[in-house]
Amino acid sequence: MLRLAHISDVHLGPLPDVTYRELASKRVVGYVNWHRTRRKLITEGTLGGIVASIKEDKPDHLAVTGDLVNIALDAELKLARVWLETLGNPKDVSVVPGNHDAYVPGAFDKICQLWSPWMCGDGHEGTVGRLTFPYLRVRGNVALIGVSTARATAPFMANGFLREEQAHRLAELLEETGRRNLFRVIMIHHPPVRAAVPQHKRLFGIGNFHRAVHEHGAELVLHGHSHDPSLYWVGRREKPIPVVGVAAGGQGFGGHHPPAQYNLFEISGGPGAWNIRLTRRGFAVPDEGVVDVGSLNLGSRKRAPAPFESEPS
């Protein structure tokens, strides 16, 4: 059995000092948003409690599905690397970037340099970049496949992009790991499900994603971005794939979204008979710390429940 923890959208804060030059871009929108709303809801103590609870659970691996920072200032990106180092050995922590990590042009290249030990496949040497996604890590009988949907976008937009080239490489990895009878986990920031988020936050290339999993299969998809502990199903209806979201890792009480949570998966069984036990843990009542929020079994389904996206388009 492999125990896999999943967090997302930690939005490390507070924001460092910002120069006028740094704000002469889309960053000014994020800066205002931080001071109006996010700084009141994303708290260091909350994230610290989530990380401490994860460490107590001692998972075999931790998946971080993007948005480590807020407006991709150089100081933020460097702080995020320090934070990643506190989580554990890079071989035990896998990261995919989110839209806030690539907030402005040039930020994506910087995170590839700074965070590369957490965003590369087994045995990878050299630089990390757009063409190294998706990457593959194998832990026991579990394949961890990291997809990047992160790109700089216009002000007030938070879209992700999955182009045909990366979707083709994803399909190849799914085919290869399927032949090896591995349990395939896809890690992606933007939810690959229509209407999961508003239009200005949607993923362009959902059809590309669906074609890959519809043809080659997968066992589990993890995402962030929505800040909600959601569950959808994609793939073939006779062999459904759970798509699991999670509340933002630093979210406090009082917002429009649930307070911080993380997912803990227990993956057991074997090809054709995988079992996936999901436990959601996080904050539910103020001053009570991290508790079990709910649990369910996602494995061994013969037919998909609603909501379900059956056909790629």
Cα–Cα distance for residue pair 274/111, rounded to 1 Å: 35
pLDDT of residue 15: 58
pLDDT higher than 80, residue 85: yes
Tell me: the pLDDT tens digits for 265-274? 999 999 888 9
Tell me: the pLDDT tens digits for 100-113? 999 999 999 999 99
pLDDT higher than 70, residue 185: yes
Q: Tell me the three state secondary structure of residue 204.
A: strand
Cα–Cα distance for residue pair 102/218, rounded to 1 Å: 27
Cα–Cα distance for residue pair 178/35, rounded to 1 Å: 46
- CATH fold of 2-309: Purple Acid Phosphatase; chain A, domain 2 (3.60.21)
pLDDT of residue 31: 41
pLDDT of residue 312: 47
Tell me: the pLDDT tens digits for 221-275? 999 999 999 999 998 878 899 999 999 998 888 878 899 999 999 999 998 889 9
The model's pTM is 0.90
pLDDT of residue 172: 98
| Among candidate residues 5, 104, 65, 72, the one with its CA nearest the CA of residue 192 | 65
Span 118-138, mean pLDDT? Answer: 95
Span 158-164, mean pLDDT? Answer: 97
Sketch the domain layout of the chain as residue ranges. Answer: 2-309
Spatial contact of 109 and 103, defined as CB atoms under 8 Å apart: no
Spatial contact of 44 and 52, defined as CB atoms under 8 Å apart: no
